Structure 1
C-alpha cells in the first residue's frame, strides 16, 4: 500500500508531538512543545505528515518566508521518519512531495538546519544536492 503525504491540519498539530519528542535532543518538555506548536501554526508554519494508512509515521515542519539571498523559500524543520520505516526510500519520496508542494506555493528554494551529530541526515541532504552555506548559531536570552 502506498504511503500518504499530506499537510497536517492546524487543529491536529499536537498529533506530531510524540514524533518530535524522538528528535528532542534539546530537552523540551511535552507541555512546552504543545504550547510552542500551537503558536507556530499562527506564524507561516505548516507540518507535512507521512501516513501508513491512518498511522502518522513521519513529519516535516515547513516554514515559509522570503529571504534576500534565496527569494521565496521553505525552511525544512524537525524531519523525522519512524525508525521502522527508514532505509526504504521513504524519505526521498517524502521530500519529492515536499518540494512539489513548496513549488506550488511559489517557493524558489529549500533550506534546512541539521544537528551536527546527525550524520545520517548529512549524507541524505548531500545526496539531495543541498549545499552548506554557513553555521546555525543559537543564544538563549
Structure 2
C-alpha cells in the first residue's frame, strides 16, 4: 500500500469530519463540527492527514503555541486512524512524519491528550516516548 502524509489544505478541512465522528462519542452534529473546524483553521492550527490513494484514512490536528514549561510546542489533537489500518505500523510512521514536519517549524516538544478509557492509545503513546504529566480538566461554561 502507498500511504501519503500531508498537511490538509484549510479549504478541505471539512473532509475530516467523518473520521472525527468515528473518533468521538460526543454527539456533535455535522453542522457544529463544520463551524468549529472553519474557526480552527484560522487559528494556530494545521491538520495532518493520511491518504491511501484517494481515501482519507487518518487525521491529526496540530495546535502550535509557546509554553512556559516546554518552549515552542505542538499539541496533537483528535489523532485517529481508520480501524482497518491499525496495528500495521502506520501510526508510528504518521507520528514520525509529524515530528519531522513540526521540527522544521522550530517545535521542540509534542503534547497530547487521550481519553482515559482509550487504553490502546495509552500503550501506543508510551511506546512513542510520551509521559503523563497531569490530568486534563474540562468545565463547560
Structures share a fold, TM > 0.5? yes
The CA deviation at 1:105 is 0.7
| TM-score, normalised by the number of residues in structure 2 | 0.98
Aligned length: 141
Aligned to 2:41: 41
Aligned to 2:110: 110
| TM-score, normalised by the number of residues in structure 1 | 0.98
- Whole-angstrom distance in 2 between the partners of 1:66 and 1:29: 32
- Whole-angstrom distance in 1 between the partners of 2:91 and 2:45: 20
- Whole-angstrom distance in 2 between the partners of 1:50 and 1:95: 11
- Whole-angstrom distance in 2 between the partners of 1:106 and 1:37: 25
Map 1:1-141 to 2 at 5 A: 1-141=1-141
The CA deviation at 1:2 is 2.3
Q: Deviations over 1:39-86 (max 9, x none)?
A: 000110110000001111000000000000000000000011011100
Structure 2: state its 5+ residue gaps.
none
- Whole-angstrom distance in 2 between the partners of 1:129 and 1:16: 27
- Whole-angstrom distance in 2 between the partners of 1:133 and 1:33: 29
Counterpart secondary structure, 2:84: helix
Structure 1: state its 5+ residue gaps.
none
The CA deviation at 1:121 is 0.3
